[in-house]
Amino acid sequence: MTSAAKELYRPIPKVIKHYFPKKKVIFAGTDPGIVTTTTTIPKTLEEICADIDRFQALLLSGTDGFDKQFSVKQLPRCSKITSGLINSVTFLRRHQKKDERRRTNGMDELIRQKKLSKGHREREIRIQRAYGKIIGQERRQIRAYAQPSVGKQVPAIIHCCGHWKSTGSTIKGQSRRGTKKIIEQYRNHGHVEFTNERNTSKICPYCFSEIDLHKTRRIVNGTEKIVRCS
């Protein structure tokens, strides 16, 4: 590992604060999206360090003759939050149908706007409660993955969220929801860190070197060309 890579691979202060008192630390990687609002998978600090050590061992195997069998733990089932789930528990479609019936029946516009405002306030309360319950269930699954012993401290959760926005996306026709309320719930019971995802698919997460895309030959407009696979 180069000196630059060692400089980058330093535990953040929150990890040091909880790790030295022998408190379990869990990283919950949260990836934002469009169709699926967030996808979260937990991983303990020991597993992350083991992955990095495993990579270093495999990197040196060609020169030092290193030969070792690694036991890779299967990741748990990911936790997903979709806009359809939030719309369902907040009765969004039911409110929309009621408003369509009011408009069809010729209800006064002022009265209709008041009813719309009331429905909006009700949905905001339901949304807040729904996020609280969903994130609470997700938090229990993350802590259960660490298998804390009886009588020991509750493991600290660090949410590593991808810093990605769907603004300007060409994907259309999907019900979308932001991650602002989800991040607020994460902050209530844990720590939140953001990861800049720019060029992350072009850089190795272990040795921090640039990844070369695979090249292949394809027929483009009747001409054979060498193209890079994404």
Question: In the chain, pLDDT over 90 holds for what percent of residues?
Answer: 3
Tell me which of 19-23, 85-89, 141-145 is least confident.
19-23
CB under 8 A, 24+ apart: contacts of 69-76: 73/47, 75/41, 75/43, 76/41, 76/42, 76/141, 76/145
pLDDT digits (tens, 9 = 90+) for 194-227: 887 776 677 776 666 777 766 777 777 888 777 7
Banded pLDDT at 230 (limits 50, 70, 90): low
| Maximum Cα–Cα distance across the chain | 82
Question: Are the C-beta atoms of 44 and 147 separated by less than 8 Å?
Answer: no
pLDDT of residue 8: 41
Q: Which of 86, 88, 118, 87 is nearest to 185 (CA)?
A: 86
Banded pLDDT at 4 (limits 50, 70, 90): very low
More confident residue, 91 or 67: 91
Beta-strand relationship, 79-82 and 156-163? unpaired
Taking the model in full, what pTM does it have? 0.68
Contacts of 161 (CB under 8 A, 6+ apart): 30, 32, 179, 183, 186, 192, 193, 194, 195
pLDDT digits (tens, 9 = 90+) for 114-164: 988 988 898 899 999 999 999 999 888 888 887 665 566 778 888 888 887
Q: Nearest 5 degrees, angle CA 13-CA 44-CA 22?
A: 60
pLDDT of residue 91: 87
DSSP state of 103: H
pLDDT digits (tens, 9 = 90+) for 22-78: 677 888 888 888 888 888 988 887 787 777 776 665 555 554 444 455 566 677 788
Query: Of all helices (H) and strands (E), which one includes residue 54?
Result: helix 45-64
